[in-house]
Amino acid sequence: MKDCEKYKALIVGLMDNELTPKEIHEVNAHLMRCGQCREEYEQLKETTESLNTMSFNEPQDEVLRKFWKSPYSRWARLSGMLLIAGGWLVLMVYGLIEMIRDNSEPPLPRIGIAAMIIGFFVLLIMVIRERAVTYQSDPYKEIER
Ligand SMILES: [Zn+2]
């Protein structure tokens, strides 16, 4: 059919929302009559839709997921956490040693402070362990909250 060539351009225009109401009416009328163009229209529609979905939705999620799942970012988070904890540890151990070596203070406050520091360690280790377990079982829980 000769008409079909003309309607092909209109079908593409229909996809891009570039047609006047009159043209839309014409294309629709032709699509009703012509199975070949209707097939082409369906195919084009499918392609356009999957293209839209791919370029506007999926890649962003996919990239984000890959980023959070990537070994690098997990490693970076873990090492950041360990550095902070390690820094605290060094300071605490230093303070503890200084306190034990310093005999000028009466023993009771020193024991109290030492108990507090040890308690802090215990809590810190618990938090780190808990977080490590959370990361292992669900690597991208945090981005979806
Ligand atoms: Zn046709």
Q: Could you tell me the pTM of the whole model?
A: 0.36
Query: In angstroms, what is the span from residue 54 Cα to ligand 1's centroid?
Result: 29
Query: In angstroms, what is the span from residue 39 Cα to ligand 1's centroid?
Result: 9
Long-range pairs for 38-47 at CB < 8 Å and ≥24 separation?
A: 40/8, 40/11, 41/11, 41/14, 44/11, 44/12, 44/15, 45/15
- pLDDT confidence of residue 54: 61
- pLDDT confidence of residue 35: 93
143 and 69 Cβ atoms separated by less than 8 Å: no
Q: How far apart are CA 12 and CA 14, in angstroms?
A: 5
Query: In angstroms, what is the span from residue 32 Cα to ligand 1's centroid?
Result: 9
- pLDDT confidence of residue 57: 54
Could you list the pLDDT tens digit for every one of the 145 residues in the chain?
568 998 998 998 998 889 999 999 999 999 999 999 999 999 988 887 777 666 555 556 666 666 666 666 777 777 887 888 888 888 878 877 777 777 666 667 777 777 888 888 888 788 777 777 766 665 555 555 4
